[in-house]
Amino acid sequence: MPDTAPSNDLPTSRRIGLLLFDQVEELDAVGPWEVLAYWTLSHPEDGWSITTLSADGGPVTGAKGLTLGSHHSYADLSDLDVLIHPGGWGTSRLLEDQDHLTWVRTQAANVPLMTSVCTGSLVYAAAGLLINRPATTHWASLNLLSELDPTIATDVNARYVDDGDMITSAGVSAGIDMALHLVARLAGTERAREVRRGIQYDPQPSI
């Protein structure tokens, strides 16, 4: 693993933002962070960095009690090239939060690539971003995704769905697969394989 701790000050031109909010599912956020931070720190020559953000720039408490810090608030965040919206219990509140939905729509109008993990796609659906698009979410929320927007072509089997400027992924650990796909898309398949080897991600379920 690289010895350098994650930093916001790496000389890069393109940036990935990972959204944090209270009751975020920890692995939804930390899984993609591990993949993408390992990549960007190990290969700064690729020209990417990753940072975290929350509404006020303060720490959040995850769904299972883990405190997660953020680097930026919405107000002091500069332009992103990719946004990752995780899921978790906290998305139930965000589905009804008109300020948040407006913020998400604003990001979609300015950020070239929007991505989600787990029930993060429900927020995108509530914001009207998935009209007539293929998408997925956690298996237990597939029906809700369809209820929020019946025009969505819900993929019940995919670990992630890449629809050009929108990538959604299934539940929790699927965010790792989505993040590796993101590395492959942004820096090539061989780079993604290097990252997968580096974090020793080779799932072989025993049960």
> How far is residue 60's CA from residue 88's CA, in Å, rounded to a whole number?
13
DSSP characters over 74-108? TTT----SEEEE--STTHHHHTT-HHHHHHHHHHH
DSSP at 119: T
DSSP characters over 30-63? HHHHHHHHHHHHH-GGG-EEEEEEESSSS-EE-T
Is residue 146 a contact partner of residue 154, using CB atoms and an 8 Å limit? yes
Which residue in the block uniquely carries the two structure tokens 């591990």? 34
One-letter amino acid at 39 equals W
Active-site residues, by number, are 118
> How far is residue 5's CA from residue 60's CA, in Å, rounded to a whole number?
20
> How far is residue 64's CA from residue 66's CA, in Å, rounded to a whole number?
6
Token code pair at residue 5: 């701790």
